């Protein structure tokens, strides 16, 4: 049976490190990390995400600011707000909650955030730094960054020479995850919907990252004996056993089957999910440390 990697426990450990480093930064330099979260419209899921991020920022001792804009807000008004946040020395991280209303161009908004405050790691500057191995000054997107910590907690920091297969090629998870694994000296293959004989390819993986967005697509017999499996997927499927119209959350991996062959695996929920907000806090702290000329803590 596989070891279950407890993402909630690891995330709590990361947050505790952030809290301690935040208190030290204030004591030593008089600097309080500042996070500004911007939400446009009233999408219920986005409201929940933003609320949880703002709450966690306050728990970490951050200066936390939330800007809630009406759904009909003009693009230039949003860009003007981002310009003001870029210029505000009390703000070290800026997060614009996606998706945005259809009349606003998401790419333009994301690229308007100053790279040194882009704690989501989506700007072209940070993407380029990650792709060229400039890790010391890059911001890495929170989900792959958190996945990497879970992987290192399961296998140790030395991943040199291991075969890694990333199933999924999104800009948010798949591509940055592949770059992180390359930086860790893994041999990396990116797979996707057009990959030939995907099951056979997955069976070559010492490290398997599932980020394809298809519920329970990766079966137990696709997994190499003893492999470490990081399941990034969050999918809702019908759960008639719970009652009419009820659903449950599953990952991209058939968890029960994978438990029989994997060496270690993240569950869904309580796996990668909690790490995403924890890494947002860590990235904001890192930005504040850089602005103060202080070395950020190693997580």
Active site residues: 53, 97, 120
Q: Which two tokens stand for residue 126?
A: 């940070």
Interatomic CA distance for residues 202 and 26, integer angstroms: 47
Cβ atoms of 272 and 7 within 8 Å: the answer is: yes
Query: If DSSP codes are grouped into helix, strand and coil, which group holds residue 234?
Result: coil
> What pairing do the DSSP bridges indicate for beta strands 34-40 and 235-238?
unpaired
Contact 7, 275 (CB under 8 A): yes
Single out the residue of 189, 261, 188, 247 nearest to residue 219, CA to CA.
261
Q: Pairing state of beta strands 247-250 and 235-238? A: antiparallel
SS3 228: strand
Alpha helices in the chain (DSSP H): 7-29, 44-59, 75-87, 106-112, 124-131, 142-155, 174-183, 198-202, 255-258, 273-292
The per-residue DSSP string of 127-173 comes to: HHHHHTT-TTT----HHHHHHHHHHHHHH-S--TT-EEEEE---TTT
- Are 46 and 18 contacting, i.e. CB atoms less than 8 angstroms apart? no
Count how many Cα atoms sit within 13 Å of the Cα of residue 182 in the half-sphere of its side chain: 16
Sheet containing 187-191: order of strands: 3-4, 264-265, 228-231, 207-210, 163-167, 187-191
CB burial of residue 238 (10 Å; 0-12, 13-18, 19+): exposed
């Amino acid at each position: 049976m596989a070891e279950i990697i407890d993402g909630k426990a690891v995330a709590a450990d990361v947050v505790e490190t952030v809290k301690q480093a935040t208190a030290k930064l204030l004591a030593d330099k008089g600097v309080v990390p500042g996070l500004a979260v911007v939400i446009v419209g009233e999408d219920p899921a986005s409201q929940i995400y933003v609320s949880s991020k703002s709450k966690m920022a306050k728990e970490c001792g951050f200066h936390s600011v939330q800007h809630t804009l009406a759904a009909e807000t003009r693009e230039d008004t949003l860009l003007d707000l981002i310009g003001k946040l870029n210029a505000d020395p009390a703000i070290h991280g800026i997060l614009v909650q996606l998706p945005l209303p259809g009349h606003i161009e998401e790419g333009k908004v994301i690229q308007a955030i100053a790279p040194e405050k882009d704690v989501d790691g989506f700007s072209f500057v940070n993407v380029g730094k990650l792709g060229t191995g400039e890790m010391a000054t890059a911001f890495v997107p929170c989900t792959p960054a958190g996945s990497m910590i879970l992987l290192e907690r399961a296998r140790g920091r030395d991943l040199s020479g291991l075969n890694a297969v990333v199933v999924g090629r999104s800009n948010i998870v798949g591509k940055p995850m592949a770059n992180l694994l390359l930086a860790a000296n893994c041999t990396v293959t990116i797979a996707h919907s057009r990959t030939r004989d995907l099951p056979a390819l997955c069976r070559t993986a010492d490290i398997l990252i599932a980020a394809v967005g298809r519920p329970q697509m990766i079966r137990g017999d696709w997994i190499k004996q003893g492999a470490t499996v990081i399941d990034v997927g969050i999918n809702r499927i019908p759960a008639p056993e719970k009652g009419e119209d009820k659903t449950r959350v599953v990952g991209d991996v058939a968890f029960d089957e994978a438990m029989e062959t994997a060496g270690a695996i993240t569950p869904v929920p309580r796996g990668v999910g909690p790490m995403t907000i924890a890494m947002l806090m860590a990235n904001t702290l890192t930005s504040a440390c850089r602005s103060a000329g202080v070395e950020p803590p190693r997580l």
